[in-house]
A = this chain, B = another copy of it.
Amino acid sequence: MPYVNIKITREGATKEQKAELIEGVTRLLKDVLGKNPATTFVTIDEVDTDNWGVGGIPVTELRKQQK
């Protein structure tokens, strides 16, 4: 009965990509630890780039610098 939480920045992940993440993580837990998919939960949090910092700087700023 695993519970997995994935946090990514909100930068356009599609419904299909999120379904792939859910499917892939669930299969990984089955393959590695024999966990039952029926009781494996996966949640995805999409976080605004203003609300995620790396190196002390919001990702919004990092993206501007990368351009």
Q: A residues engaging B (CB < 8 A)?
A: 1-9, 13, 15, 17-29, 31-33, 35, 37-47, 50-61
Residues on B with beta carbons closer than 8 Å to the beta carbon of A27 = 56
Which one of A42, A44, A53, A59 has the highest number of Cβ atoms from chain B below 10 Å of its Cβ?
A: A53
> Which one of B23, B29, B31, B50 lies within 8 Å of A57 (CB-CB)?
B23
Residues on B with beta carbons closer than 8 Å to the beta carbon of A50 = 15, 18-19
Across the two chains, which residue of chain B brings its CB closest to A32?
B20
CB distance from A67 to the nearest CB of B (A): 17
Q: A32-B21, A59-B1 are in contact. Are A43 and B39 (CB under 8 A)?
A: no
Across the two chains, which residue of chain B brings its CB closest to A21?
B32
